[in-house]
Every structure is written in structure tokens, then in C-alpha cells.
Amino acid sequence: MPMKDPKSLQAFRKEIDKIDDEIIRLLNARARHVIEIGKLKKAQDSQANLHTPAREAEILDRLCKNNPGPFPTDGLRAVYREIMSGSLALEGPLQVAYLGPSATFTHLACIQKFGSSAQYVPLTSIKDVFNEVERGRSDFGVVPIENSTEGVVNHTLDMFIDSNLLIYGEVQQEVSHHLLSKADSLGGIKKIYSHPHAIAQCRNWLETNLPGVPVSEVHSTARAAEIAAEDPTTAAIASELAGQIYGLKVLKARIEDNINNYTRFLVLSQKPAERTGKDKTSIMLSVKDKVGALYELLRPFASSGVNLTKIESRPSRRKAWEYIFFIDCEGHVDEDRVKKALTELKSRCLFLKILGSYPAHS
């Protein structure tokens, strides 16, 4: 319907322009303080991580708590994620290695964690990501660790056995698969490409809606999108970002069989994260093969009041039928209750390695 009072509309727009100008002024004032903070950090420790998740969590929690509306809290988080990303870039270049290529869900997890102003380095394997951070060529690395549908990424777990890197943070990324193509309809699709995990997560939808259409595996959802961009008779199962990058149409959105489909990613660093008060600790250990070994493993956590959020086992690769356990628990390694549990546990293990204490995803 046409506006009854166009002058009123114009007046509102002028007020918005004034507010936007004030926001720009304040953002630049904020940026100048950030630059000074960066100088102080470097003066105190030239090798310090400029990214401080504890401070970022404190800022976001305070702003969201004090937000009176009507601006949505989720929107506020997204806006400040980019403000902090841009501010961090002013303190110094932040380089993040990840399991590529671009437009994969790992790439999306990176952006969720570090914003769009970081410098991202796509690599072809999880091992390469570990190596990039270990050699100091990247400040952080981001790798997948588990999917709510498909389970753990064993290669990531195995890398921790010999690596000295620490877990610096975690990201939980919702995985929404879209059917992307240059075709105009489902009837024009003769072949489908995607990563094996994505295919498995969409199996029922494919069998119901595109029965008989061959599905081929490729090493990433982004590669599938690249193939679909070259041939209008093919389709890719990939992210919305991949569709935007490769110029594909979304023939069908959210085709995953389980709508509660999430992948958890780990942030790797040479240095530990600061304590935030809402932390998790990850450890790996090996125990003697004997009756009651698992019970002995769990008892120190129960007696110390520490909640376990995950326990996973892997063959040790050093001795037949010997297993390494990976455990996530609530709390920070500096907390008395966690320290007590780990001290008691260490006396019962063949070896115990702390992989890091880090802010839990919120």
C-alpha cells in the first residue's frame, strides 16, 4: 500500500542516516582503542595470541544480556562477530589454516569463529592443517572432529597422538545441504556429486526424490559444486555459500535427512586459551588392559564431580588390542575439581596427555 505521508518516510530515513554516521564514528573510535591494545600486547609478549576468546565471550555475553531489543540478539552476535574480526585485523594479520577448499562447511566454521577479516588458508588434508600451525605459518587451524549423524573424524583424533598442538576452541556449525545446479528443475539432473558424508546424510531424500540418478563421491562439497558449474545436467550437494561462489541455483534447500545435523570443529594453536569460566578440557590416555579398566578410568571424574561430555576410543597403533581414549569434560584444567580428577587418573594410566582447556561453544 502507498504511504499516506511520504514526508514522514523521508524524515525517518534521514534519522537512520544520522544514526549510521554516528555508528561509523563510534566504530572508528573503538578501532583506535583496539590498535593501542594490540601495541600493548606485543610489547608485553611479541609471540602472544592477539585473538583472546575469553574477552570476546565476555563482550558478547554482556551485549546480549543488555540488549533491550527490538534488534535480535542473534543478529547482534553476528554484527559484533564482524566488528571484532575487523578490529583484530587492525591489531595484526590473523592467518587461519583449514581443511579446504573454500566454501566447505569447515570454511563456514572458520568464518563463524574468526569473521570475514581473517586471512584463510585452505589445505588439502587434516595433516597439512596440523603441520601449518606446528610450523608457525598460521596462527590457528580449524579441523572437523565429529558430526552428529556420522560420528567422529578418526583422522583428527589420530593426529593428536603425535602432535604437540593444543585445542584452543571449538565451533559447532549447523550443516544444511542444498541441491545445487545450473539446471532449471530436478528433471534435468542426470548425475549428482558430493562428499561421502554429505551423500550419506541425504540418502533418504535422494532415494525418494531422485531415484535412479547416479550419485558419485568427490573429496569435498566444494569440488562437487565446481563440477556442477561446468555441466548443467549435473547437481551438487553442498552449502549455500558454494552455490553463491560457483553461480549455482538452489533447486532444493535443506535436503539432509536429519534436520538436527551439526558438525563440531576444533581450533588448533601452539598456545593455550585463557580461562573463561565456561570451559571444556580434552585429554587422551591409555590404560592397562585388565578387568574393570574402564570403570577405573571413569571413577575419578565421578568422585570429583566432573561431567564427561564425550568419550571415544581408538587403536593405539603401537600394540595390538591396546586402545587410546579421548575424553572431553566440563571445566578448566586449572579448576580444583578437574585438577583432582586428572591427578587421580594419571596414577592409573599408561600415559595421559592434556590436549587443552578452551571455551565451550555457546
Dump pLDDT digits (tens) for 269-315.
999 988 888 899 999 998 777 777 788 888 999 999 999 999 988 87
Asked whether residue 274 is assigned to any structural domain, the reply reads no
Element (H, E) at 216: strand 215-217
Query: Catalytic amino acids?
Result: 263, 265
Provide the pLDDT for residue 321.
54
Strands 140-147 and 262-269, how do they pair?
antiparallel
Task: At 215, give phi and psi (nearest 5°).
Answer: -120, 125
The Cα 7–Cα 54 span in angstroms is 47
In terms of domains, do 42 and 20 share one?
A: yes
In terms of domains, do 104 and 70 share one?
A: no
Checking if the pLDDT of 38 tops 60, the result is yes
Q: 44-48, 70-74, 171-175, 312-316 — which is least confidently predicted?
A: 44-48
Question: Please, are residues 357 and 325 in contact by the beta-carbon 8 Å criterion?
Answer: no
For the record, the C-alpha cell of 15 comes out as 534519522
In terms of domains, do 67 and 103 share one?
A: no
In terms of domains, do 137 and 194 share one?
A: no
Provide the pLDDT for residue 229.
95
Checking if the pLDDT of 179 tops 90, the result is yes
Asked whether residue 121 is assigned to any structural domain, the reply reads yes
In terms of domains, do 156 and 195 share one?
A: no
In terms of domains, do 75 and 110 share one?
A: no
Checking if the pLDDT of 131 tops 80, the result is yes
Q: How confident is the model at residue 235 (pLDDT cuts 50, 70, 90)?
A: very high
Give the CATH number of the domain where residue 312 resides. Answer: 3.30.70.260
In terms of domains, do 86 and 11 share one?
A: yes
Give the CATH number of the domain where residue 46 resides. Answer: 1.20.59.10
Provide the pLDDT for residue 10.
85
| C-alpha closest to that of 38 among 116, 90, 75, 96 | 90
Asked whether residue 1 is assigned to any structural domain, the reply reads no
∠ CA 353-274-344, rounded to 5°: 35
Asked whether residue 48 is assigned to any structural domain, the reply reads yes
Domain extent at residue 122: 95-175+262-269
Provide the pLDDT for residue 74.
86
Asked whether residue 170 is assigned to any structural domain, the reply reads yes
Helices (H), 67-188: 73-91, 105-114, 126-134, 154-162
Instruction: State the amino acid at position 352 in one-letter form.
Output: L
The Cα 33–Cα 268 span in angstroms is 28
Percent of the chain exceeding pLDDT 90 equals 50
In terms of domains, do 10 and 34 share one?
A: yes
In terms of domains, do 134 and 119 share one?
A: yes
pLDDT digits (tens, 9 = 90+) for 211-224: 999 999 998 899 99
Q: How confident is the model at residue 48 (pLDDT cuts 50, 70, 90)?
A: low
Domain edge (last residue) among 269, 301, 336: 269
Provide the pLDDT for residue 117.
85
Q: 87-96, 125-134, 268-277 — which is least confidently predicted?
A: 87-96
∠ CA 89-94-98, rounded to 5°: 135
**Using CA atoms in the order 97, 102, 105, 106, what is the torsion angle rounded to 10 degrees?**
-10
∠ CA 193-195-200, rounded to 5°: 95
∠ CA 321-324-330, rounded to 5°: 150
The Cα 246–Cα 223 span in angstroms is 10
The Cα 105–Cα 313 span in angstroms is 25
Asked whether residue 225 is assigned to any structural domain, the reply reads yes
For the record, the C-alpha cell of 352 comes out as 595421559
In terms of domains, do 121 and 51 share one?
A: no
Residue 203, number of CB atoms within 10 A of its CB: 12
pLDDT digits (tens, 9 = 90+) for 324-342: 889 999 999 999 999 999 9
Asked whether residue 244 is assigned to any structural domain, the reply reads yes
Provide the pLDDT for residue 134.
95
In terms of domains, do 199 and 159 share one?
A: no
The Cα 198–Cα 179 span in angstroms is 11
| C-alpha closest to that of 335 among 327, 343, 323, 326 | 343
The Cα 161–Cα 195 span in angstroms is 26
Distance linking the first and last C-alpha atoms of the chain: 42
Asked whether residue 307 is assigned to any structural domain, the reply reads yes
Domain edge (last residue) among 269, 301, 329: 269
Give the CATH number of the domain where residue 219 resides. Answer: 3.40.190.10
Number of separate domains in the chain: 4
Tell me the average pLDDT of the chain.
88
Q: Which residue has the higher pLDDT, 175 or 203?
A: 203
| C-alpha closest to that of 245 among 227, 225, 274 | 225
The Cα 362–Cα 356 span in angstroms is 18
In terms of domains, do 110 and 153 share one?
A: yes
For the record, the C-alpha cell of 111 comes out as 568464518
